[in-house]
Amino acid sequence: MKNFGFSDLILVDPRLHREGDETGSEPFFERESRRMAWHAEDVLDRARIVPDLKTAVSDRGLVLATAPQGYPRFRNLSPEEAAEAVSGSPLPPPAFVFGSESSGLTLEELALCAGVVVIPTAPAYRDLNLAQSAVLMAYLAFRRAESPRVPHKPDRAGHDEAESVAEGFLDLAKRAEFLKSGDEPVSRELRAFFHRAGLSRRESELLRSLIRRIRAKFPRE
């Protein structure tokens, strides 16, 4: 990632390889990551470790996940479309999300993102490892950032602001008995809708104000 100007790395509970730890030695994850980070130890030194994806992207703007295949209920983008979207959304900082090589991302995690980037591959062998996916997206975003800038757009609402709107709307949906428990598949669709809508800060403020007013008029029974 450093090759293409990226330095802000956030790791979601990365220590999944404890079986490789040896008594009295540096933990396997720390040892192997530093061995592979040739002249990029500074990226690891500054990396933040958080417990879950929601925390990781709370201060981001446009958040795009990567997956080996598209999902019919989410916005699917090509790598080139994703790079263009990221370059046009500088503040708050955008983010690419990569799942683990063994299990990828859950549907709940995908619902926290504005879209899913699908990297096309040959049908005979579709799998890309995490490093390959990351370097491809970093390269495309780097190249797109060097292109002429698009006209200024209103500041995009932060991920936490869009999530607040989504949470408020889902609460209203439960009060109206449109949703029963709030963890139905349709709730993931609704949550993803607000993240891919690209709300401005002003729009998110208006929606949150409206949701608060409706809550006050129609309290829980």
CA–CA dist 4, 12 (Å, integer): 22
Residue 162 φ then ψ, to 5°: -65, -40
93 domain-assigned: no
Domain around 11:
1-51
125 domain-assigned: no
Check whether 212 has a pLDDT greater than 80: yes
Look at residues 51, 71, 93 and tell me which one is the last residue of a structural domain: 51
Q: What angle do CA 173, 114, 54 make, to 5 degrees?
A: 75
121 domain-assigned: no
Q: Tokens in use for 37?
A: 């980070």
Check whether 29 has a pLDDT greater than 70: no
154 domain-assigned: no
> Using one digit for the tens of pLDDT, what is the confidence trace for 136-182?
999 999 988 776 555 556 678 889 999 999 999 999 999 888 988 77
For residues 108-119, average pLDDT: 92
27 domain-assigned: yes
Q: What percent of the chain has pLDDT over 70?
A: 88
Helices of type H across 63-200: 79-87, 107-110, 130-145, 159-175, 185-196
For residues 38-58, average pLDDT: 86
The number of distinct structural domains making up the chain is: 2
DSSP helix/strand/coil, 168: helix
CA–CA dist 4, 111 (Å, integer): 28
Look at residues 51, 69, 86 and tell me which one is the last residue of a structural domain: 51
206 domain-assigned: yes
Question: Which DSSP string do the residues of 6-68 spell out, in sequence order?
Answer: ----EEES----GGG--TTS--HHHHHHHHH-TT-HHHHHH-EEESSHHHHTTT-SSEEEEES
Predicted TM-score (pTM) of the model is: 0.69
User: In this predicted structure, what is the pLDDT of residue 206?
Assistant: 92
Residue with the bigger pLDDT between 97 and 127: it is 97
15 domain-assigned: yes
Look at residues 33, 51, 69 and tell me which one is the last residue of a structural domain: 51
